[in-house]
Amino acid sequence: MLLLKKGGFRHFLRRKLWEPLLDLAKQGFTPHQLALTIALGSGFGMIPFIGLTTVLCTFWALRLRLNVAFTIVIGYLMQPFQLALYVPFVDLGQTIFPVTPISFTLEKLSSMFQADWLLALQKLWLANLVGIFAWLLCFIPFGLAVYFSSRKVLHRVLPTE
């Protein structure tokens, strides 16, 4: 009740979540660096390989001297999209590359694992690999679009020094 009386839930979210996130994002970085951080974090956050987001975000943020923490936060915020786009990326990869497509229904996957679990793991690994290649083909135009659009917005919003 106290939360609602002092300014509401919206004020609480703004003060405890939004403002610290903006402070983290603006820590001495130019609009170019922040746009690159947003593009890489959002792109790596959608890669169809669970657990690879943190490694890629950290490596490239350090390599390009970007805000590592903000890159990882953006990557984590994109995880619902990662889960939602996992099967479409794998299906696209199986369409592009000459592999035997596998179906992602529960019945098909369980029968594959019951028949030969090593072969099932091999097929899933290959499907995941072609999904990563399909993601890479989609990431290039997506990353460029996110970079240029966010850079344009950030030049208007952030003071240039």
Residue ranges per structural domain of the chain: 6-157
Tell me what pLDDT residue 6 has: 62
Q: Which runs of E-coded beta strand occur in the chain?
A: none
Where does the pLDDT of residue 24 fall: very low under 50, low under 70, confident under 90, or very high at 90 and above? low
What pLDDT shows up at residue 12?
A: 79
pLDDT greater than 90 at residue 46: yes
On the CB side of 141, how many CA atoms lie within 13 Å of its CA?
3
Q: What is the pLDDT of residue 1?
A: 44
Q: Is the pLDDT of residue 7 over 70?
A: no
The pLDDT confidence band at residue 16, using thresholds 50, 70 and 90, is confident
- Look over the chain and give the mean of its residue pLDDT values, rounded to a whole number: 86
Tens of pLDDT along 127-160? Answer: 999 999 999 999 999 999 999 999 998 888 776 5
pLDDT in tens, 92-122: 999 998 888 888 788 888 888 889 889 888 8
Residue at token pair 């690159």? 36
> Hey, what long-range contacts does 137-145 have (CB within 8 A, 24 or more apart)?
137/96, 138/89, 138/92, 139/43, 139/46, 139/47, 142/42, 142/43, 143/39, 143/40, 143/42, 143/43, 144/39
For tokens 């029968």, what's the residue?
111
Is residue 88 over pLDDT 50?
A: yes
